[in-house]
Amino acid sequence: MNTSGNFVVKLGGWGLSKILGLGRMGMFLIYAINGLWKPPGKLISTIKHIYFIGHRSLFVICFTGAFSGMVLGLQGYYTLSKFGSEGLLGAAVSLSLIRELGPVLTALMVTGRAGSAICAEIGIMRIEEQIDALKCMAIDPHSYLISPRFIAGIICFPLLTSIFDVIGIYGGYAIGVLLLGANPGAYWDGIYKSVGWDDVYMGYIKALVFAVLTIWISTYKGFYAGVDSGSMGAEDVSKATTDAVVISSVSILVADYVITSILL
């Protein structure tokens, strides 16, 4: 076969493998959802994962939330003061946080902290044959390993987003009002008058979608770490973890645009 023929064959093979990968990923999600109703019970396991994904992400969420709010307060004050509209600072900070920055930055932080750890943990279980062992004990690995993490993610992401938003609004208040001297009454009144339930729902819808994306991609990458290469080594886990963080982060940003364009 000539060079161009070989190129077409390779391109076709690459395309087919990607389509098969997408199909496998879709089936993985279906098995995880189906696993929600299968034994064993998931209460204790879910609580453990809520602690890991939620409680242990609190510090980083509070920290990034506070500084995001402070930057918004600083930038917002200087921009608005050029037009004599410092009174709109509260509205600008809160709407930016609730609609966009809160869900996106929370998801990115949790992906970096918990998503990578989830992927690495499941990847190590794969290369140490623990997932095979579960299957051979007639325990569905999707139900036992993946489903509780989905429940935990779906519970934690909106809560963490709420905490991020609240801390961010207080961060904006600290800089805009306490440091730069904006009117405190105008700050809170601006939030009260401008933020509607639609904005809050949009933030929560985003948080839920990002939760599913992050947990789905992280668990999938860990679950199939080394399966395609057949090598099942530490390198496969490291590659899977990197892929999980990169793909989750990009997917969050793409999904953010899509959801915003649909809901606006």
Partner 1 sequence: MTSEATSIISVRDLQSFYGRRQVLFDISFDVPPHCIFVIMGVSGSGKTTLFRHLIGLKPTRKNAVFIKGEDISEWKSSDWQKYWQSIGVLFQSGALFNSMTLKENVALPLQVHTELTSDIIDVMVEMKLYMVGLSGFSDYMPAQLSGGMKKRAGLARALAMDPELLFVDEPSSGLDPITAAGLDDLLISLKDAFGMTVIVVTHELESAFKIGDYMLVMDKGRILACGTPESVKNSKESRVRQFLERRAEEAGQDMEAYLQRLCSVRSR
Binding range to partner 1, per CB under 8 A, among 103-111, 137-145, 163-171, 174-182: 137-145
> The tokens of 224 are what?
């199939």
Contact pick of 1, 83, 84, 136 for partner 1 (by CB under 8 A): 136
| CA distance linking residue 248 with residue 141, whole number of Å | 22
Footprint on residues 60-119 left by partner 1 (CB under 8 A)? none
Binding mask 108-127 for partner 1 (x = CB under 8 A): -----------------x--
31 vs 204, beta carbon nearer partner 1: 31
Is 130 one of the binding residues for partner 1 (CB under 8 A)? Answer: yes
What DSSP element (H or E) covers 43? helix 43-53
| CA distance linking residue 158 with residue 67, whole number of Å | 19
Is 198 one of the binding residues for partner 1 (CB under 8 A)? Answer: no
Is 139 one of the binding residues for partner 1 (CB under 8 A)? Answer: yes
Q: In the bound complex, what is the minimum distance in angstroms from residue 119's beta carbon to partner 1?
A: 16
| CA distance linking residue 224 with residue 246, whole number of Å | 16
Q: Residue 125's CB: how many other CB atoms inside 10 A?
A: 20
Residue 32's alpha-carbon distances to 48, 140, 187, 197, 198, in angstroms, are 18, 10, 45, 31, 30
Asked if 90 and 177 count as a contact pair (C-beta separation under 8 A), the reply is no
Contact pick of 18, 56, 135, 193 for partner 1 (by CB under 8 A): 135
Is 235 one of the binding residues for partner 1 (CB under 8 A)? Answer: no
Interior CA angle at 233 toward 222 and 143, to 5°? 30
136 vs 262, beta carbon nearer partner 1: 136
Is 1 one of the binding residues for partner 1 (CB under 8 A)? Answer: no
Is 137 one of the binding residues for partner 1 (CB under 8 A)? Answer: yes
| CA distance linking residue 209 with residue 212, whole number of Å | 5
Contact pick of 1, 138, 262, 264 for partner 1 (by CB under 8 A): 138
Is 128 one of the binding residues for partner 1 (CB under 8 A)? Answer: yes
Our measurement of the distance from residue 161's CA atom to the centroid of its chain's CA atoms, rounded to an integer in Å, reads 10
Q: In the bound complex, what is the minimum distance in angstroms from residue 21's beta carbon to partner 1?
A: 15
| CA distance linking residue 225 with residue 144, whole number of Å | 18
* Contact set with partner 1 (CB under 8 A): 39-40, 125, 128-130, 132-133, 135-139, 230
